[in-house]
Amino acid sequence: MPQLPPSPTSPCIEMIPEPRTIPDGLASLVDRFEPPPLPPGNAPVFLFASAWRSGSTLVQRLLVSGGELLMWGEPYDHSTLVRRMAESLIPFSDKWPPVNYIVDPEDPPTAERWIANAYPSPADLLAAHRAFFDRLFSEPAAAAGFSRWGFKGVRLGGEHALYLKRISPDARFIFLHRNPYDAFLSYRMLHEIRTHSYWWYHRWPDEQVATAEHFGPIWSRLTESFIRWAPEVGGTVVAYEDLTRGSKFSAIADAADVPIDESILESKVGGTRQQRGEWDRASHELTATEMASLRETAGRLGRALGYVGPSTGGIGS
């Protein structure tokens, strides 16, 4: 059978170098297509924590205490909206998309020309990403009477902050980490007292986190990414332990540029704080296997941050 000639615009098949990352895709998109910066957007605030039981709800309550900011809490976590949208930019490279696929608005495609591949500008793509977040988060916050918005997440890393900074250039970031031994112990104990609940997912439906062996690499990867990318996005890295000692509150307020009311910490609402009697049913110590797993998967970075093992009495969130 004779071979059909390639279309005039079909590219040669070439493998994209691996691994590709969100920063790689963003850099290629910006370098090749030079999209203009998107306009400010009321300075949204993004709070990223290094996995569960790291104090994100405590910081969230502080940030909303001034009444100016509506901070959504892990919105549509199973859908992983930010992660999936950011990952959609990974394929951008020095070869993809071919520049002749991008439609020039002053020379639009017609039926008399090859139009099998006709893409809007990458600048429009980024603007559409921004419009998605504005419609989902900013507009409902404004309708509820808040001048600013944000959200907290426990599954997002510094590379996702880089993506959010590109589409919301005035965004503010707070990165929160906690002793991984304490965080996992609190996570496991919470599951033990909530026997009706399931282990939470890092990525639904494939990455359910049920053991220290699962938890440690997630903590390490997220925390390392916070340290790596915080300077790039102007973010502030905060240790949960500093908050429990009553310090760093001003750093949080400054990072978000919102007033906070520390008195709200005197009231306990929801969560495990109202279930303190239930903690006695759970094991308050890490097993030898859990300790070994955390030392192997999170120990190197943990030691660099001063986390050499479990602290005493640090089981809350």
Pick the more confident residue, 311 or 162. Answer: 162
Per-residue pLDDT reduced to its tens digit, 180-203? 999 999 999 998 888 777 899 999
In the chain, the percentage of residues whose pLDDT exceeds 90 is 76
Average pLDDT, the chain: 90
Task: List, as one string, the DSSP characters of the chain.
Answer: -PPPPPPTTPPPP-PPPS---HHHHHHHHHHHH-PPPPPP-S--EEEEESSSSSSHHHHHHHHHTTSSEEEEESTTGGG-HHHHHHHTTTT--SSSS-GGGBPBTTB---TTS--SS-B--HHHHHHHHHHHHIIIIIHHHHHTT-SEEEEEESS--HHHHHHHHHHSTT-EEEEEE--HHHHHHHHHHHHHH-TTSPPPEEETTTEE--SHHHHHHHHHHHHHHHHHHHHHHT-EEEEHHHHHTT-SHHHHHHHHT----GGGGGS--SGGGGGGGGGGGS--S--HHHHHHHHHHHHHHHHHTT--S--SS----
Per-residue pLDDT reduced to its tens digit, 120-164? 999 999 999 999 999 999 999 999 999 999 999 999 999 999 999
